[in-house]
Amino acid sequence: MAVTLIWRGTVQDSTSPRDVIESRDGWADERRCIDCHEQAESFLRTGHANTLQRASERPSLALLEQWNLLLDETRTKINVINGQPVVSYRDGSIERNISVDWCFGSGAHARTWTGMLSDSQGASDLLELRYTWYHVINGFDVTPGQPAESGRDPLQNLGMQFDGPKALRCFSCHATRVPMQDGNIVLQDVVAGVHCQRCHGPRARHVASNGQEIDSDWEFHDRMDSVRRCGQCHRMPEERETHEIRPGNPDIVRFQPMGLLNSACFKQSEMTCTTCHDPHRSLSEQDSKGLWQCMQCHDPGRPEHTLCSRGERENCLNCHMPKVDMKFPVSFTDHWIRIPDMGGKNP
């Protein structure tokens, strides 16, 4: 496995985040960051920090209370045994139970549950449950990527199985640290959610020195370094086929850097992801959808700036970065900033 440390210099490729989070050395207790950095406290309220939790935590259990109403038709049900949710299904005349261990997603868009299975070789497989809770409908629908119709096999009725490498990819984008041992995820040591050290790297020595030991490796070295750090999980254009990277393709909208890097605004300026988004604050606590970002380069008070040809001075995003509905009950902002095709090809 090639190792690319995403916090060291400019990352020149889109190596999987798992190459970083398998490291066992140098990790500090994330709670220590709050002692000195006010950003660490506000960060706890972000979607990134809450993008993974154990299924036994209260927000997860509250949603799972609705589960049995949906799953009557599939002959499956969720029970909570000693605080641990368990999915039950019938295999012929035998009732079997699988522990539901993890809840993926912050809830801003959706939440999906998984359990861990062991295959015949003793390796960890992930069972992604068939139904996902969606915020916009406050209810359940089929999990993205799973077939619309359930299969005949009892496990297929429950959901889709991922082998160890794919399971690791899931955790890599939803956790700060995922230790591995003998090819298996050490579940009890997973640091759930994307926290400070996921982007800034292990900081044990920094904490031990009371902040005296500081290096520049945690800083962004240039704007592409910034984008690629986000793109480790939000995906980069080179991860898709060339013909797929085109305006109006809804399949790439959920992967923001794919559109952003092809935007004229990006190519003709020094903007990067953090030009518009403060990664240390939740979206509800920052003005990530306002005009001030656009006004940095399209200010009517600056004669050298390019202005909207329609004379619009508000609602820039409605035309140039619209919301796009997915095939499931979620919409994402299209980050391919552009003049819309009035013929309807490019929303």
Percent of the chain residues past pLDDT 90, beyond the cut: 46
The whole-model pTM stands at 0.86
Split at pLDDT 50, 70, 90, the class of 9 is very low
Averaged pLDDT, 246-271: 93
Asked if 172 contacts 164 with a C-beta cutoff of 8 angstroms, the reply is no
Q: Which residue from 189, 161, 166 is spatially nearest to 22, judged by alpha carbons?
A: 189
pLDDT at 218 over 60: yes
Asked if 129 contacts 100 with a C-beta cutoff of 8 angstroms, the reply is yes
Query: What's the mean per-residue pLDDT of the chain?
Result: 84
Split at pLDDT 50, 70, 90, the class of 231 is very high
Asked if 145 contacts 163 with a C-beta cutoff of 8 angstroms, the reply is no
Asked if 107 contacts 135 with a C-beta cutoff of 8 angstroms, the reply is yes
Model pLDDT for residues 114-148, shown as the tens digit of each residue:
998 876 666 668 999 999 999 999 999 999 999 88
Asked if 115 contacts 129 with a C-beta cutoff of 8 angstroms, the reply is yes
CB atoms within 10 A of CB 108: 15
43 CB-side CA count, 13 A = 20
Tokens of 199: 């982007």
Q: Quote the pLDDT of residue 54.
A: 96
Q: Quote the pLDDT of residue 23.
A: 52
pLDDT at 2 over 60: no
Q: Quote the pLDDT of residue 211.
A: 87
Q: Quote the pLDDT of residue 250.
A: 92
Q: Quote the pLDDT of residue 73.
A: 58
CA distance 63 to 168: 25
Model pLDDT for residues 263-322, shown as the tens digit of each residue:
999 999 999 999 889 999 998 888 766 678 888 888 888 888 888 888 887 888 888 999
Model pLDDT for residues 32-56, shown as the tens digit of each residue:
999 999 999 999 999 999 999 999 9
pLDDT at 241 over 80: yes
